[in-house]
Amino acid sequence: MADQTRAIAPILKRSDEIAVARPKIAYYCRLYAVMSGMKIEKRSPELSETLDKALAELEQAKKTLGKELDETRDEMECETFALQIFDKADRADRAGSREMNTAKMYYAASIFFNVLRQFDADGELEGDIAQKQRYAEWRAAEITKAARSGSTAPPPPEDEGEASGAAAMAPPAPQEMPPSHFPSPPGVTAKPPPPPPAPSPVRVPGGAPPGVRPPPVDIGSVADAQRYAKDAVSALGFEDVHTAVDALTRALEILKPIAK
């Protein structure tokens, strides 16, 4: 049996990446991934485990967001976010920046567009959104293919009709790009894996007077600070300076007490 988790892994990955900066949109990404996974009839143990974990995270997010969730309003927020990512990729592409960072944004946009399917009774996308979703997926594959061959992708079609035709005729993009060629789209990075357990508390070298034992460092806090720092770097990939500053501030708030 093929790895069924591949069908929803890219969506869950996007959810993790924006969980700090855009928790509500991350919630709907995770919800769409679960809905998609539930449609698979004969689920593998790996997929069932992934879905169970995602459902638990959904319940926790729902409690946290509470009354902030409003499907009608949230649909517009999710659509606006997807369009923002698409527009950034398109502007970079037309300005001549046909590198992997542009492909990453196109690929992320294609997934965020697909997330909007959950708001339609038939799981369909509206005309313009459907066109942009296909185009983003196609253009991500075009740029990635060129990068892998050591060349530069051709300029994007100028005519809207030509762009639609090219996207419609193109083969579907792979469900997830290999990390070596297609790292996570910028935004907010996924939470890093927990560090291995230490046999004893980590001590801060130096800083404490002779004979005085420095306080142990909370490894969990260090991991949180690392995650926020990565969030900041990734947010800058989307030119989201506000989120980057916020993430760095949170990281510093965690680290300052440890550094004393």
pLDDT tens per residue, range 28-74: 999 999 999 999 988 999 999 999 999 999 999 999 999 999 999 99
pLDDT means over runs of 10, the chain (260 residues): 84 95 96 96 93 96 94 96 98 95 97 97 95 97 95 87 56 45 38 47 45 59 71 61 72 75
Cα–Cα distances (Å) from 8 to 44, 58, 148, 161, in that order, read 13, 15, 25, 31
In whole angstroms, give the CA distance from residue 240 to residue 258.
Answer: 28
What are 99-121's pLDDT values in tens digits? 999 999 999 999 999 999 999 99
Instruction: Go through the domains of the chain in sequence order and give each one's CATH number.
Output: 1-66 (1.25.40.270), 73-180 (1.25.40.270), 202-259 (1.20.5.420)
In whole angstroms, give the CA distance from residue 151 to residue 107.
Answer: 19
In whole angstroms, give the CA distance from residue 10 to residue 220.
Answer: 26
Q: Tokens for 183, please give them.
A: 């790292």
Helix (H, G, I), strand (E, B) or coil at 175: coil
Instruction: Return the axis-axis angle of helices 71-94 and 23-38, rounded to nearest 10°.
Output: 100
In whole angstroms, give the CA distance from residue 23 to residue 256.
Answer: 26
Sequence-ordered alpha helix ranges (H) in the chain: 9-17, 23-38, 45-65, 71-94, 100-115, 127-148, 160-169, 219-237, 241-259
Of 230, 140, 223, 251, the residue nearest 188 (C-alpha): 230
In whole angstroms, give the CA distance from residue 187 to residue 184.
Answer: 9
In whole angstroms, give the CA distance from residue 121 to residue 17.
Answer: 27
pLDDT on residue 260: 61
In whole angstroms, give the CA distance from residue 28 to residue 15.
Answer: 8
pLDDT on residue 161: 59
pLDDT on residue 245: 74
In whole angstroms, give the CA distance from residue 127 to residue 198.
Answer: 54
Q: Tokens for 44, please give them.
A: 């593998």
Residue 131's Cβ-count burial label (10 Å; 0-12, 13-18, 19+) is middle
Q: Tokens for 115, please give them.
A: 């997330």
Q: Is 17 within 8 Å of 190 (Cβ atoms)?
A: yes
Compute the mean pLDDT over every residue in the chain, rounded to the nearest whole number. 80
